[in-house]
Amino acid sequence: MATLIEDKFKAWEKEAQARFDQLKANEEELNKIFIDLYGLQDELDYQVADAEVSVSLADRERDIKSLISYAVGCMFGRYSLDIEGLVFAGGEFDASKYTTFKPVENNFLLISENQIFSDSSIDIVEKFVEFVSVVYGKETLEENLQYIADTLKGTGTSREIIRRYFVKDFYSNHLQIYKKRPIYWQFDSGKENGFKGLMYLHRYNSDLLGILRTEY
């Protein structure tokens, strides 16, 4: 069944707001009990500032970037659409765990401003488009890509905006999230963005560099 990412986000936004409001109310009620118990009405305020509530509200840009990060995890086999949680973080890679969406075979995804190789299966944008189509349906693919692109902001087609995000911003965001201990490593030919690629650290083997030299 085809699904709109926008509808999913709106539902999540409502759920996150309700959870936030409930937790804030609970914390304020506990504060009231504590203040009344110790007679501190003139010294303490029971109210809790939004910034002090320990759960987050929905954030469209942050959450869409998290979706993109999860998609990359599925592309490398870190996650699977068929199994919940972390699926592969070392050991023997089991391809049978990935039925709905197949990860890349050689642990390499190309990031470029244009699709410069004929093998679209290693192009990160083409693989991402495939992911969105598989997860949310072919019927809503273009609308979903546009919603993602509108969130990322920029000019051009939805695919061009998404491609620009992968080329310029994805890896720096990844470094921020993982505190400069990335689980994906980036190959980079230099400032002109002529050639970039990603590999998943936990699937690395010595054959990969040889494949990169001879094929790419």
Express each pLDDT in 61-87 by its tens digit.
Answer: 999 999 999 999 999 999 999 999 999
State the pLDDT confidence band at 41, using cuts at 50, 70 and 90.
confident
Token digits for 188? 């980079």
For the cut 70, the answer to whether the pLDDT of residue 191 exceeds it is no
- Res 65: pLDDT: 98
How many other C-beta atoms lie within 10 A of the C-beta of residue 211? 13
Reported as a single tens digit per residue, the pLDDT across 104-127 is 998 999 998 876 665 678 899 999
User: Domain coordinates of the chain in residue numbers?
Assistant: 10-52, 59-215
Q: Please say if the pLDDT value at position 208 is more than 80.
A: no
Residue 132: its pLDDT value, please?
98
Of 85, 131, 83, 141, which Cα lies nearest the Cα of 109?
131
Indicate the average pLDDT of the chain: 90
Tokens of residue 141, six digits: 């693919």
What pLDDT does residue 112 have? Answer: 87
State whether residue 196 is helix, strand or coil.
strand
pLDDT at site 207: 73
Q: What is the pLDDT of residue 54?
A: 84
| Mean pLDDT along residues 82-95 | 95
pLDDT at 100 over 60: yes
Residue 156 pLDDT? 96
> What is the strand order of the sheet 184-188 is part of?
109-111, 196-200, 184-188
Main-chain phi, psi angles of 111, to 5 degrees: -120, 115
pLDDT band at 210 (very low <50, low <70, confident <90, very high): low
Q: How confident is the model at residue 44 (pLDDT cuts 50, 70, 90)?
A: confident
Dist. CA 1–CA 15, nearest whole Å: 22
Statement: residue 193 has pLDDT above 60:
no
Are 126 and 215 contacting, i.e. CB atoms less than 8 angstroms apart? no
Buried b (16+ CB within 10 A) or exposed e, 113-149: eeeeeeeeebbbbbbbbbbbbebbeeebbeebbbbbb
